[in-house]
Structure 1
Amino acid sequence: MKKLRLKELESRLQQVDGFEKPKLLLEQYPTRPHIAGTDMAFLKTALEMARTAVYSLHKSSTREHVQKKAAEWKIKIDVIAELRYDLPASYKFHKKKSVDIEVDLIRFSF
């Protein structure tokens, strides 16, 4: 097995043109959640690529919005689990070492 440098691996992972309908698609949108609509844009792309379902984590406080978007796209949505996620501090100005947030594990299907 060939070892890849991080930049080469990132480059290869971004080249998904060769996959018409992948069996598994993992995405992590590269921006902070406060940039409106980014998570939904990535979700829509995942739904366009998926064969049967997409699993995604979303803050529980946004559940109604996510459900509204799924209905708009005519996608079935099931909240599989309500979880708590320990989000570690990312920046020096964060006052707490971590924050416990509520998230939903959601299955989107066709």
Structure 2
Amino acid sequence: MKLKELESWLQQVDAFEEPKILLEQYPTSPHISACMLYTIQNTFNDIEGKLVADLGCGCGVLSIGAAMLAAGLCVGFDIDNDALDIFRRNAEEFEISNVDLVQCDLASLEAEAYAKKFDTFLWAAITMAKTAVYSLHKTTTREHIQKKANDWGVKMEVIAELRYDLPASYKFHKKKSPLLNLIKGSVERKPFLDEKKHPAVIKLQLFFEKLVSWKIVIPKVVLE
């Protein structure tokens, strides 16, 4: 599937009707979603036939896009039942069968050392993934993300720069169209990673490993 075709399909995916500020819900535009997924698949071959976890999946635009690119299975995780209801409707309208949903609070998996919410999402992603983690971050957070990657023994690289092309989601947003980094974290299994896993993350991972090993994780879009 060509990039423009993928973006055209994703433009038909329903998004948040009213984003919830407490859940830091930011819609991922069809353009950004298509560019992310196209790069992940065509540059790294990390979607087709793979098991994909979409953490903080929201209304499912990334999951549905991954499914369109022939992911073996894409599982979306989110705490918000309203968002998951929209996700379900989207999947039904597109007649997509290779997606599934899990309602859970990934932020509750954090230990004291990972108090920031986006650190929690990245940590959960890294502990679940067997191959790679892909995530979006404002360019101003690159140094922080690099430090975390070093602490966790993960090789991090910026593989694309994208401009956030949606209107401000909340009234307090003043800067329009911030520049984002699409970051790839290459996960190498190291003993300290396994030792630091939160019991809830271990339980979640073992459940899905009964099906097939995780290959790639796409965490929630982070705009902090």
On whether the aligned pair clears a TM of 0.5, the verdict is yes
Q: How many residues are treated as equivalent by the alignment?
A: 82
Match of 1:108 among 170, 182, 185: 185
In the alignment, is the contact (CA less than 8 A) between 1:81 and 1:104 conserved in 2?
Answer: yes
Partner AA of 2:157 in structure 1: D
1:95, 1:62 → 2: CA distance?
Answer: 17
In the alignment, is the contact (CA less than 8 A) between 1:87 and 1:101 conserved in 2?
Answer: no
User: Hey, which of these two has a bigger chunk of strand by percent?
Assistant: 1
Identity %: 50
Q: Secondary structure at the match of 2:127?
A: helix
Partner AA of 1:24 in structure 2: V
Match of 2:132 in 1: 53
Task: Say whether 1:99 aligns with 2:176.
Answer: yes
In the alignment, is the contact (CA less than 8 A) between 1:23 and 1:50 conserved in 2?
Answer: no
Q: Secondary structure at the match of 1:100?
A: coil
In the alignment, is the contact (CA less than 8 A) between 1:81 and 1:105 conserved in 2?
Answer: yes
1:87, 1:77 → 2: CA distance?
Answer: 26
Distance 1:74 1:89, change over 3 A: same
1:46, 1:61 → 2: CA distance?
Answer: 21
CA-atom RMSD in angstroms = 2.4
2:152, 2:124 → 1: CA distance?
Answer: 12
Match of 2:117 in 1: 38
1:74, 1:106 → 2: CA distance?
Answer: 15
Extract unaligned runs of 5+ from structure 2: 1-49, 57-77, 80-114, 188-224
1:67, 1:45 → 2: CA distance?
Answer: 17
